[in-house]
Amino acid sequence: MSKIFQMLQELSKVQLLSGAESTSALHEVPNFLKSYGAYSDSIGNLWLEKQSDAPDAKNILLEAHLDAIGLCVASITENGFLSVCACGGFDASLLPGTEFIVHSGKDYKAVATSIPPHLMKKKDAETKITLSEIYLDCGFSSKSEAQRHIMIGSTVSFAAPANALLNRRICAPSL
């Protein structure tokens, strides 16, 4: 499994957010997989077939889209936080505390923040968090500082590496 895991680690580093599949990162995937014998068909599908020398080897099928869900920077608050909109669908209430990477010329680490439940008004604590209540904190101290580094419309991806789980299982963004 280590060769497969290494390949998935490399592939999961390529961030192709929904709506931004035409970026140069799209070309990294086929180029990376060529060394494994990958080829494209006439309609752009990418194929990779690898035969095992073991007579009783199991077949593995990895089928995937090249795009992933993520966020997009919608605006910057006065205190340097980034408000975001969705690129794909997900439950915003799961985001607080999640680490992200903001892609804006260079990559900036960020963490999703919101008002914690114990500081909310009672009626607000009983409702589900929406994306309009999520902000990304890159560590900027002001709007002007953030604007020097982050462009509105910048894409934001999950900052999670591929990980080996128990029983030969793997998890990673976009899997």
CA distance 109 to 160: 11
Choice between 121 and 55, residue whose per-residue pLDDT is larger: 55
Contact 78, 142 (CB under 8 A): yes
Mean pLDDT calculated for residue range 73-86:
95
pLDDT in tens, 12-26: 766 666 665 555 555
Residue type, 15: Q
- For the chain, what is the largest distance between any 2 Cα atoms, rounded to a whole number of angstroms? 64
What pTM was computed for the model?
Answer: 0.73
CA distance 78 to 126: 28
CA distance 115 to 133: 8
pLDDT in tens, 44-64: 677 777 778 888 888 777 666
List Cβ neighbours of 137 (8 Å cut-off, separation of 6 or more): 81, 82, 110, 111, 112, 113
Mean pLDDT calculated for residue range 93-122:
85
H-run or E-run covering 171: strand 170-171
Q: From the centroid of its chain, how far is CA 73?
A: 14
Q: What percent of the chain has pLDDT over 70?
A: 78
